[in-house]
Amino acid sequence: MRLLSGDARRAVFAPLDDGAMRSEAVVRRLGSAIALGIIVDGEQLPSEQQLAASLNVSTVTLRDALSDLRTRGLVDTRRGRGGGSFVCASEEALTELARGRLRELAGTDLRELGDVRAAVSGAAARLAAERASEGEIERLRETLGRLAAATGGTARRRIESRFFIDVAAAAQSVRLTREEIELQFELGQVMWGAGLAEADPLATVEGHHRVVDAIAARDGVLARGLTEEHIASVTARLVDAHVRLMRRHNRRPDHAANGAFPEAAGT
């Protein structure tokens, strides 16, 4: 999915090429878009027919997906005049969606995601140290300032995504930036939500500041090393959370979502 081109919103409704399990793919696509704020709270979705046509799924599949989203509390369908499907950007529902995705994925999937993130974000950090202008470095610090001031898991995730994307842009690489955006989109599917015990937000901001300091000091090796370390620790927390969810899920499937999990969030 292309978010960079400014037609992010159009991309949300672009045809799905995921193949199997299509209604789940629709749920994931729309869920991520809601989480990232590309489609906003209260916004009306296109009609079922339009939506099915643009996503290239059958109306049956689309109805399954909408019903799933309704059950999750991410979509509200009103009947009659002025009716339709409306977006509800609830933190709780997004958290639950992320939990479901964490259960679906295997530990190796999460490890793979971490590997690619390390390759892309690590390289971006190193190149940014070589290439970023003073102005770009200043903007990275501003983004971290906003991250430190943000309240709520969703707001923090959005700003943190932005930070990683901006580092890639500061590396002067359109292609790395595009990769980073797609990774953040994918990561968003397992990472959303408040209520999950984040890694200490202040420590996270602190860690990112050290990366920016290394970029400012033109120390590419350090910037890359710190970025890779950070991503490895996030990946480890995600795998831990995944394993815990799976084990609980097997023991008490009905209550899987209700336990208190020391889970991961914060990239």
Partner 1 sequence: MSTHRGPPDGDVDRRVADQAADVIGGVVERVFRTVLELRDEVLAAYRAAVARDGRMCERDVTALRDPVLGRLGREHQAAIGMGVVVAPGLLADRELRIEWWQYGTRAPGAGRGEPTLLEVDLNPASVGFYDYATAEWFVGPRRTGRRHVVGPYVDVHGTDRYLLTLTVPVVADGAFLGVAGADLPVARFEALVLRELGDLAADVVVVNPEDRVVLSTSARWLAGSRAVFTDADTARTLAEPRWRVVTTRR
Of 23, 61, 184, 204, the one binding partner 1 by CB under 8 A:
184
- State the minimum distance, in angstroms, from the CB of residue 135 to partner 1: 7
20-39 binders of partner 1 (CB under 8 A) = 36-38
Residue with tokens 């950007």: 89
User: Of 52-60, 164-172, 189-197, 206-214, which part binds partner 1 (CB under 8 A)?
Assistant: 164-172
**Are the C-beta atoms of residues 208 and 163 closer than 8 Å to each other?**
yes
173 is an interface residue for partner 1 by CB under 8 A: yes
* Closest by Cα among 65, 173, 63, 51 to 121: 173
44 is an interface residue for partner 1 by CB under 8 A: no
166 is an interface residue for partner 1 by CB under 8 A: yes
When the beta carbons of 163 and 261 are compared against partner 1, the nearer one is: 163
80-119 footprint of partner 1 as x/- string (CB under 8 A): ----------------------------------------
Residues touching partner 1, count (CB under 8 A): 32
- Amino acid, single-letter form, for residue 31: G
When the beta carbons of 177 and 227 are compared against partner 1, the nearer one is: 177
6 is an interface residue for partner 1 by CB under 8 A: yes
4 is an interface residue for partner 1 by CB under 8 A: yes
**Are the C-beta atoms of residues 26 and 32 closer than 8 Å to each other?**
no
135-154 binders of partner 1 (CB under 8 A) = 135-136
3-state secondary structure of 44: strand
How many alpha carbons fall within 13 Å on the CB side of residue 71? 8
Q: Give Cα separations from 192 to 9, 32, 141, 185 (angstroms).
A: 19, 9, 23, 11
- State the minimum distance, in angstroms, from the CB of residue 3 to partner 1: 5
How many alpha carbons fall within 13 Å on the CB side of residue 4? 16
- State the minimum distance, in angstroms, from the CB of residue 162 to partner 1: 6
**Are the C-beta atoms of residues 10 and 45 closer than 8 Å to each other?**
no
3 is an interface residue for partner 1 by CB under 8 A: yes
Burial per residue of 45-84, b for 16 or more beta-carbon CB atoms within 10 angstroms, e otherwise: beeeeebbeebebeeebbebbbebbeebebbeeeeeeeee
d(C-alpha 9, C-alpha 82), whole Å = 22
Site residues, partner 1 (CB under 8 A): 2-10, 36-38, 40, 130-131, 133-136, 158, 161-162, 165-166, 168-169, 172-174, 177-178, 184
